[in-house]
Amino acid sequence: MLRPTRLTRGDTIGIIAPASPPKIEPLRKGMHVLKKCGVKIYESPHLHDEMGYLAGSDDDRVNDLHSMFLDPNIKAIFCACGGYGTPRIVDRLDYNLIANNPKIFWGYSDITCLHTSIHKKSGIVTFHGPMPSSDMGKDDFKPLSERLIQQLFEPITLRYDETISPLDVLVDGIVEAPIVGGNLSLLVSSIGSDFDIDVKGKILLIEDIGEEPYRVDGMLNQLRLSGKLNDAAGFMIGSFTEAEPKKRQSTLTLDEVFQHYLIHYGKPVMKGFLIGHCQPHFSIPLGVNAVLNTYSKTLTIEAGVC
């Protein structure tokens, strides 16, 4: 994995909308949060386009992403929000262009599709973190979430322990491996394509929002059937928000689903990480080495920038 160059004060961050249209007022507030870090903001040409549930046409969203990577004045690219749209463009991106112009790329949720494809095709470390419109511009955006943006300005080792949130162990162990993953539904949607996630010998992070236990069951089963769960070296379970059963009165719990699919591999599994659709949101680099230690209930992650 190739680490992008760190930010310095005065650098310019480009904001793109590769999925759904961002909400304008939260976007403005979110960009102000970034400006407090000492950076300038450049809005992509089609940032405010709308085409139904998409932030403009596929062509325009692809062109905005390419132009941000090509522009030498843009030092980092932040996705405004998630929603839906990146699976439509993942096979249209020029991954040689991205590999030849490595820079910080930040987002989560629907952006998981881009994290996975960029890792696989370009070999660049990317960042799973809160976005300007969907997170930074809201009243519940936490100080910890804001402080973690600083990992882009200095190569620092991140440490997650129970001072941040309670962590529960499903399977004990210690594993050192790169972290990959993100939004579970997006990971599953690419299985069988040329852009599906490579989890061989890696720590797999999963998180999601609005998915009931039976839906999570189905997605984990698809990962099982495809061999992805067997390939992984360990598992991190992030935030699964708004997961309460709605359609079925009789249900398994999420914990029962996780136990059914993850414990029999005998690989370290820990849950409770505030990573995903939650506040605070602990942002992390994807693709770098990390140590998951269930005995000390810690996660230690190498720096994502150089």
Specify whether 207 is catalytic: yes
Yes or no: say if 270 and 294 are a contact pair by the CB < 8 Å rule. Answer: yes
User: Structure tokens of 186?
Assistant: 């997006």
d(CA 64, CA 84): 16
From 79, 103, 66, 83, select the one nearest 27 (Cα to Cα): 79
d(CA 235, CA 258): 10
From 139, 140, 157, 137, select the one nearest 148 (Cα to Cα): 157
Q: Which residues pair with 270 in a beta bridge?
A: 169, 236
User: Can you tell me which residue has the tokens 């609005």?
Assistant: 210
Residues in the chain, how many? 306
d(CA 241, CA 183): 12
> Cβ of 91: how many Cβ atoms within 10 Å?
10
Among 109, 117, 122, 133, the active-site one is: 109
Among 122, 277, 281, 302, the active-site one is: 277
Measured between alpha carbons, how far is residue 153 from residues 3, 8, 134 in Å? 13, 6, 23
d(CA 4, CA 306): 6
Specify whether 145 is catalytic: no
Find the helix or strand (DSSP H, E) in which 189 lies: helix 184-189
Among 133, 207, 283, 302, the active-site one is: 207
Specify whether 302 is catalytic: no
User: Structure tokens of 11?
Assistant: 């650098």
d(CA 204, CA 111): 16
Three-state secondary-structure class, residue 192? coil
Residues classed as catalytic: 109, 207, 277
